Amino acid sequence: MRILQVNKFYYRRGGDCVVMMNTEKLLREAGHEVRAYAMHYPDNELADASSSFASEVQFAGGISNKLKALGRTLGMGDIRQSFKAVLAGFNPDVVHLHNIHSYLSPVLAQLAKEHGCRVVWTMHDYKLVCPAYAMLRDGKVCELCLGHGKLAVVSNRCMKGSLVASAVAWLEALKWNRNKLEKYTDALVCPSHFMGQMLANDGFSPDKIVVLPNFVPQTAGEAVVTEREPYYCYVGRLSTEKGIEQLLDVASQLPFRLKVAGSGQLDENLRGRYGTYGNIEFLGQLDAPGVHQLLEHARMSILPSQWYENNPMGVIESLMAGTPVVGTNKGGIPELINSCNGIVTELTGLSDAITEAMTSPWDYNAIADDARKKFSPETHLQQLLHIYGQK
């Protein structure tokens, strides 16, 4: 098959980028002809067809930048010509969209469908049901737009507290409404059942929704570390919705050692408040090997989110290393955790859950074996090709 993978950035900026690039590699290794399409950006990795990427737009800067960026969100400007040229030159059987709002545009789904491609779109965030992406308002879960018009994004200034940015998000949602997106898309791939339910609650047809969890590349036969060090770890953004402040408050009162890997807007503040505690260590941003090493030697990892996590890669990576997870009962987290591989808790129950997880015996090999079957590249590829319509 000829498959075009599409994401607004082409470097490992976030989970959407990682999933897209891993999928590209997985398909190519399976013998398919694969190309990538993204926006030109200084941090992008090299790609075979990078010369055909869309021009860069920026929401910062002068009025000309802002107008070009606004046009891009509505599918105007040079994006149409650029993508049509790629479709004509590569003539893909399948166009697989990932995170395309704002810096690219949902117009790509329309153009791909009109070209005769099968259009598959993976939901990495809640943008189709929440114009502000995350179903969060003032750091708390918000469902005001779910199943209703999206004007609440403007009245509540949900995009960065800005009336203008929120109005642009509303215009984008108005332009690319559910009826249009269902018309141009053959399958809406949801990494979690929770995400699928959110789309259904917003009126999307269940016939379009397919659940396919993320996968993690793995080394065949990689041994599981069974002698664990006496610490637990958090890997992720240091931001309010992740529940990191509540975690650190609890951790400071427990006898167990916590290692925190990640960065974000709360980084400096949290280091100032908790950096002097002897049982809390801030590691900063780690690369992929560093994260893997941290997880595989930990007694357990923790994800204390306050928001609707989708299919968090951090939980999957932890389980594939054989490391149990304590996670809050939010979004898709409970779908990944059972009594054999971790503990699901409310945010108010973190202290008891951490204590139980740190003092309980865990079968690290069994956790890894189960996760490597569920989230293996081979399992993912088989299901993905079925979604692509391969006979």
Please enumerate in sequence order all residues whose Cβ is within 8 A of that of 257, keeping only pairs 6 or more positions apart, or say none. 230, 231, 232, 279, 280, 281
For residue range 310-325, list pLDDT tens digits in order: 999 899 999 999 999 9
pLDDT of residue 104: 95
Give residue 390's pLDDT band: very low, low, confident or very high (50, 70, 90). Answer: confident
Give residue 233's pLDDT band: very low, low, confident or very high (50, 70, 90). Answer: very high
Looking at per-residue confidence, does 187 or 239 come out higher?
A: 187
Q: Residue 151 and residue 131: Cα distance in Å, rounded?
A: 9
Per the structure block, which two tokens stand in for 352?
């008891």
pLDDT of residue 235: 95
Place of tokens 């979690």: 192
pLDDT of residue 160: 84
The answer for 368, left when phi > 0, alpha when psi is -120 to 50, beta otherwise, is alpha
Per the structure block, which two tokens stand in for 201?
């609650």
Sign of the alpha-carbon dihedral angle for 174, 175, 176, 179:
positive
Task: Please answer whether residues 243 and 266 qualify as being in contact, where contact means their C-beta atoms are separated by less than 8 angstroms.
Answer: no
Task: Please answer whether residues 339 and 364 qualify as being in contact, where contact means their C-beta atoms are separated by less than 8 angstroms.
Answer: no
What is the average per-residue pLDDT within 380-391? 92
For residue range 143-185, list pLDDT tens digits in order: 999 988 899 999 999 988 889 889 989 999 999 999 999 999 9
Q: Per-residue pLDDT for 109 more than 70? A: yes
Give the side-chain half-sphere CA count within 13 A for 378.
6
pLDDT of residue 362: 97
Give residue 15's pLDDT band: very low, low, confident or very high (50, 70, 90). Answer: confident
Percent of the chain with pLDDT over 70: 99
Overall size of the chain counted in residues: 391
Q: Per-residue pLDDT for 220 more than 60? A: no
3-state DSSP assignment of residue 14: coil
pTM of the model: 0.91
Q: Residue 78 and residue 83: Cα distance in Å, rounded?
A: 9
Q: Per-residue pLDDT for 219 more than 70? A: no
Place of tokens 């997870």: 325
Please enumerate in sequence order all residues whose Cβ is within 8 A of that of 129, keeping only pairs 6 or more positions apart, or say none. 135, 145, 146, 198, 199, 201, 202
Place of tokens 């990795």: 45
Please enumerate in sequence order all residues whose Cβ is within 8 A of that of 52, keeping only pairs 6 or more positions apart, or say none. 37, 82, 85, 86, 89
Task: Please answer whether residues 334 and 327 qualify as being in contact, where contact means their C-beta atoms are separated by less than 8 angstroms.
Answer: yes
For residue range 44-87, list pLDDT tens digits in order: 998 777 789 999 998 887 888 888 888 888 889 899 999 999 99
Q: Per-residue pLDDT for 391 more than 90? A: no
Least confident range from 87-101, 218-232, 308-322, 351-365: namely 218-232
pLDDT of residue 222: 82
Summary mean pLDDT of the chain: 93
Per the structure block, which two tokens stand in for 371?
């996760």
**Interhelix angle for 313-320 vs 364-374, to 10°?**
130
pLDDT of residue 196: 97
